Homo-oligomer: A and B are copies of this chain.
Amino acid sequence: MARTRDRRTFLRDVGITGGAGALFATMGALGLAPTARAEEYRPPRGGDLSTTGRRAAKVVVIGGGIAGLTTAYELGKAGYDCTVLEARARTGGRNFTVRAGDRTTDLYGHTQTARFADGQYLNAGPARIPQWMVTLDYCRELGVPIEVFTNVNADAYLYNESAGMTAPVRHRTAKADVYGYVSELLAKATDQGALDEQLTSTDRERLVEFLKDWGELGDRLTYDGGERRGYATVPAAAGTPGVPLGNVPSASEVFASGVGRYFSFEFGFDQAMLMFQPVGGMDRIPLALTRAVGAHRVRTGAVVSRITDTGRGVTVTYTQAGRTKAVDADYAVAALPPNILAKVPHNLGSGVQSALEAITPSSAAKIGLEYRSRWWELDHRIYGGITETDQDVVHIWHPSYGFGGERGVLVGYYNYGANADAYARLRPEERERRAVAAGVKIYGEKYRSELVSSFSHHWRQTPHLEAAWHSTPGGPDDVRYKPLNEPTGRVWFAGDWLSYTDAWQHGAFTSARRAVTSLHARVLAS
């Protein structure tokens, strides 16, 4: 989900790409530093304050999402006295796992109560973790078990109705065809001398040798299908060699189908398999963080109404259960979404306010469809993974847990922007009906007939958050955000929206670490 444009613009502007190359010049041509690391981080430690004779400063953390909880957790390691104010009834922010009994009311007034069976859940917010993100380090540190998130599956489907497809095609079939023809065309071009200027004869031999294997080309360097496409009847015992899928489309048909557009997803630095998820739901992370911070330090249902830097401290006023209250602290960390924070009165200056207003919220949504059987496993032999479509549901996720069990929750849509907003305007039962109609085109009638219940969640319409993620023009280090990236008086800011991995918990974790490091340094220097 993270947008890479800002990051790359930054790199080009400051010339870091070239500099990095020099770092690796002594390694093999294809070598790499064995460990791609996050920036170095040293958490504050118990002795930092006590051995220097400092008292434990009091910190108010506004927002109990990942950034806020992490701030309190990390500061707590050195003994800071933290109080977390969270507007919603639960911590975790956009890290929200929906289970039976969970009840929501969106900004349109649509109320839903989840009716999933025991053990079934929907990760309405973040749902996947790449290996390189610090999120996995927190899972380890907090004792949260993880398992594979099935981000890509050769047996899941692709469906482009607008290209004339009347039935879905499996990822594996589409990939065999696209790669087969790419291979054939490049082998032919090479053979005909089209690359003689770019490549030596040795290069060309190696290239064609690669293409024959990679594209499953026949002796005449042509693509004629093959078992990678899949079988209509699978190979089994003697007497059953298997019946391969027939009707290999032409190169022209393959490129016209547009299936190739879905392949680059799996190469993404933040999306390539293997991906992971906590066992039992993504909210195992905020639950563990909240436990580590101490539930007594977290006030839920606390809606912040004013932030005042007094010069000698920070006073945060909030309402809870209809009553106005206040917290006085030495410092504050504002870890709530910028679009919400921008609506809170404060005396932090116009630079802060205009920076917050420059960052704009984005829409995204999911619907969980619970089925009484795992017909996608039984009938379609699809165990996990994502079906990609050109429908307004966009992505359909097969569950990454409970394989071979009785029930399961599909994500019937994971969509963004106008698609998400269009569904948001519908009543929940209409969202379900529309999502199911799209799924039936791809999977058939069981997509409707086996359905038990559904629960949909739209982030732009979620009170106290009102965004799935944010757009930060120019990137988080643009000069206009300087008042947010440096402490403003006694107030720090943290959140994935102040990172190069917005929409990922990694951004929230590392942004919180940055605020914690800066705040702790200030305290130690004071």
Contacts and interface: CB of A to CB of B under 8 A. Distances in A.
B188 A198 contact: yes
A103 to B, nearest CB: 31
A228 B166 CA distance: 33
Interface string A177-219: 1110010011011101011001110110011001101101000
A146 B150 CA distance: 14
A322 interface: no
B404 A228 contact: no
A422 interface: no
A25 B246 CA distance: 8
A121 to B, nearest CB: 17
A200 B234 contact: no
Contacts of A383: 131, 136, 146, 274, 276
B39 A233 contact: yes
Contact of A153 (B146, B273, B510): B273
A199 B181 CA distance: 11
A244 B377 CA distance: 39
Given A189-B194, A246-B20, A240 B510 contact: yes
B146 A31 contact: no
A251 interface: yes
Interface in A11-33: 11, 16-25, 27-33
Which one of A21, A139, A216 has the highest number of Cβ atoms from chain B below 10 Å of its Cβ?
A: A21
Interface string A218-234: 00000001011011111
Contact of A206 (B24, B195, B255): B255
A299 interface: no
A28 B166 contact: yes
B476 A232 contact: no
A169 interface: yes
Interface in A326-380: 377, 379-380
Contacts of A189: 185-186, 189-190, 194-195
5 contacts: A11-B244, A32-B230, A37-B232, A203-B251, A206-B256
Given A39-B237, A276-B403, 16 more contacts: A16-B243, A17-B244, A20-B243, A28-B164, A29-B253, A34-B379, A34-B444, A36-B230, A39-B240, A136-B404, A153-B274, A186-B189, A189-B195, A203-B256, A237-B513, A276-B383
